């Protein structure tokens, strides 16, 4: 898999995700400064976590209007895999790659903790190595991670099986008590219509080695690599 991790002013998880993709999972990875644009074609493009432009205006809003995002939207239309993690998810949502928006947590404080997620989709290039309904532990770290979208968009996401992850309890039950940030329907991972874009608030790169306490996030990168090698 030939992949790029895009760095914006304020990205701070770029090295972590590049390390996991390159060193832990063994794929090719370039760190790309956003002003340099996409100079070659990539199988996968990752928008990492951080605080692009200080989250001024709205989280991800300013980065979403940079020229490199036009290249990324074009790459997505051509079938490249796009993974947006945390601030990257906010940037991708602000770019219209998925419906809806991530906004201030229902209890407006920064949350940094492990989160239990139920895997809802196992057909996408990102989630194919998980089992349906599998409960995974992947940490979150955000203040603006509450996912909201108009009811029509939520219904369409559900009907099209485009919800990747929901916050759940240890039994896999999805309820308001375990809805860490107040997202609609506990949703914290969404796929695009073609399933080649995944945006998620939890940080899979922080759950990719035993020493970190969980390897549940590594399956996302391994799924992407397996998909790329097959196609």
Binding site for another protein (CB under 8 A): 57-58, 61, 65, 94, 100-101, 103-108, 148-150, 182
Residue 167 vs 227, nearer CB to another protein: 167
Distance of alpha carbon 156 from alpha carbon 128, whole angstroms: 21
Residue 80 vs 140, nearer CB to another protein: 140
142 counts as catalytic: no
Contact 84, 69 (CB under 8 A): no
Residues 6 or more apart whose Cβ sits within 8 Å of residue 51: 10, 12, 59, 87
Half-sphere exposure of 178 (CA within 13 A, CB side): 17
**For the chain, what's the residue count?**
231
Identify which of 174, 18, 146 has the alpha carbon closest to the alpha carbon of residue 86: 146
**Which residue is catalytic, options 25, 144, 168, 203?**
203
112 counts as catalytic: no
Shortest Å distance, C-beta 126 to another protein: 24
Interior angle at CA 83, CA 229 and CA 118, nearest 5 = 95
**Which residue is catalytic, options 86, 120, 142, 195?**
86
Question: Token pair for residue 62?
Answer: 């300013």
Shortest Å distance, C-beta 18 to another protein: 29
Shortest Å distance, C-beta 148 to another protein: 7
23 counts as catalytic: no
Shortest Å distance, C-beta 52 to another protein: 14
Residue 61 vs 187, nearer CB to another protein: 61
Residue 90 vs 124, nearer CB to another protein: 90
What residues are labeled active site?
Answer: 86, 203, 205
């Amino acid at each position: 898999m030939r992949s790029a991790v895009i760095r914006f002013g304020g990205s701070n998880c770029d090295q972590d995700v590049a390390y996991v993709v390159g060193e832990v999972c063994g794929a090719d990875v370039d760190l790309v400064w956003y002003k340099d644009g996409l100079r070659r074609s990539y199988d996968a493009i990752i928008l990492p976590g951080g605080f692009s432009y200080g989250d001024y205006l709205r989280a991800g809003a300013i980065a979403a209007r940079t020229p490199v995002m036009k290249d990324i939207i074009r790459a997505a239309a051509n079938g490249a895999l796009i993974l947006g993690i945390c601030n990257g998810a906010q940037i991708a949502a602000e770019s219209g790659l998925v419906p809806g928006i991530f906004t201030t947590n229902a209890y407006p404080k920064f949350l940094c903790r492990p989160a239990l997620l139920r895997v809802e989709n196992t057909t996408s290039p990102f989630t194919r190595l998980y089992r349906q309904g599998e409960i995974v532990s992947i940490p979150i770290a955000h203040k603006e991670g509450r996912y909201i979208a108009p009811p029509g968009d939520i219904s369409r996401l559900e009907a099209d099986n485009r919800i990747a992850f929901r916050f759940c309890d240890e039994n896999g039950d999805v309820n308001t008590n375990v809805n860490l940030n107040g997202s609609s329907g506990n949703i914290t991972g969404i796929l695009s219509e073609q399933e080649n874009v995944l945006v998620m608030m939890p940080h899979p790169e922080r759950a990719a080695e035993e020493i970190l306490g969980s390897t549940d996030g590594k399956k996302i990168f391994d799924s992407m690599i397996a998909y790329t090698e097959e196609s």
